[in-house]
A and B are shown apart, each in its own frame.
Chain A
Amino acid sequence: MLTRLIPVSVALALLQVGLRFKDDSDLARRLKTRDAGAMRELYDRYGRLVYSLILRMVRNSAAAEDLVQETFLRVWNRIQGFDAERGALGPWVLTVARNRAIDYMRSADGKMSAGALELDRLEHPGRFCDFEDRALSLDRARRLKDAFEKLTPHQKTVLELAYYEGLSQTEMAERMQQPLGTIKSWVRSALKVLREQLTEAAAV
Chain B
Amino acid sequence: MTCEQLRDSYELYSLGLLEGEERHEVEAHLARNCAVCQKYFKDALAVNTLFLSQAQEVVPPSRLRRRVTSSVGREGAVWTWVAALAAACALIVALWLSLEKRTADGQLANARLTLQQTVAERDRLEQAFTFLNQPETRQVNFGQGQPAPPRGNIFLNPRIGVLLIASNLPALPAGKAYEMWVIPKGGTPRPAGLFQSGPQRTAMNILSGPVDSNVTVAVTVEPESGSPAPTSNVLFAAGF
A residues contacting B by CB (< 8 A) are 9-10, 12-14, 16-17, 34, 36, 39-40, 43-44, 47-49, 51-53, 55-57, 61, 65, 68-69, 72-73, 76, 90-91, 94-95, 97-99, 102, 115, 118-119, 122, 127-128, 130-132, 135-136, 140-141, 144-145, 148, 159, 162-164, 166-170, 187-188, 191-192, 194-195, 198
Does B55 interact with chain A (Cβ within 8 Å)? Answer: yes
Total interface residues on B, using CB and 8 Å? Answer: 38
* Assembly CA distance A36 to B55 (angstroms): 28
Write the chain A residue with the least CB distance to B55: A56
Does B15 interact with chain A (Cβ within 8 Å)? Answer: yes
Give the chain B neighbours of A115 by CB distance below 8 A: 16
* Assembly CA distance A173 to B201 (angstroms): 110
The answer to whether A141 touches B50 (Cβ under 8 A) is: yes
The answer to whether A187 touches B12 (Cβ under 8 A) is: yes
Write the chain A residue with the least CB distance to B19: A168
Give the chain B neighbours of A170 by CB distance below 8 A: 19
Give the chain B neighbours of A69 by CB distance below 8 A: 64, 67-68, 71
With A48-B60, A65-B60, A65-B64 in contact, is A144–B47 under 8 Å at CB? yes
Considering the complex, which residues of chain B in the window 207-233 have a beta carbon less than 8 Å from any beta carbon of chain A?
Answer: none
Give the chain A neighbours of B14 by CB distance below 8 A: 95, 122
Write the chain B residue with the least CB distance to A65: B64
Give the chain B neighbours of A145 by CB distance below 8 A: 54
The answer to whether A131 touches B72 (Cβ under 8 A) is: no
Write the chain B residue with the least CB distance to A145: B54
Most chain B CB neighbours (cut-off 10 Å) among A61, A102, A163: A163
Considering the complex, which residues of chain B in the window 27-50 have a beta carbon less than 8 Å from any beta carbon of chain A?
Answer: 42-43, 45-50
* Assembly CA distance A172 to B4 (angstroms): 25
The answer to whether A118 touches B16 (Cβ under 8 A) is: yes
Q: How many A-B residue pairs have CB under 8 A?
A: 166
Q: Which of B8, B50, B53 contacts A192 (CB 8 A)?
A: B8
The answer to whether B72 touches A17 (Cβ under 8 A) is: no
Considering the complex, which residues of chain B in the window 57-96 have a beta carbon less than 8 Å from any beta carbon of chain A?
Answer: 57-61, 64-65, 67-69, 71-73, 75-76
Write the chain B residue with the least CB distance to A15: B53
Give the chain A neighbours of B68 by CB distance below 8 A: 39, 43, 47, 68-69, 72-73
A128 shortest CB reach to chain B, Å = 7
Most chain A CB neighbours (cut-off 10 Å) among B17, B18, B59, B67: B17
With A68-B60, A163-B51 in contact, is A131–B46 under 8 Å at CB? yes
Q: Can you name 29 A-B residue pairings with CB atoms under 8 Å?
A: A13-B54, A14-B50, A17-B53, A39-B72, A40-B65, A40-B69, A43-B68, A47-B60, A48-B58, A52-B57, A65-B61, A69-B67, A73-B71, A98-B52, A119-B16, A122-B14, A135-B46, A136-B46, A141-B54, A144-B47, A144-B51, A144-B54, A168-B17, A168-B19, A169-B17, A187-B12, A188-B8, A191-B11, A195-B47
Give the chain B neighbours of A98 by CB distance below 8 A: 15, 52
The answer to whether A94 touches B49 (Cβ under 8 A) is: yes
Does B56 interact with chain A (Cβ within 8 Å)? Answer: yes
A130 shortest CB reach to chain B, Å = 6
Besides the known contacts A94-B53, A95-B52, A162-B15, 6 further A-B residue pairs in the complex with CB atoms under 8 A apart: A43-B69, A91-B48, A132-B42, A141-B50, A162-B17, A195-B43
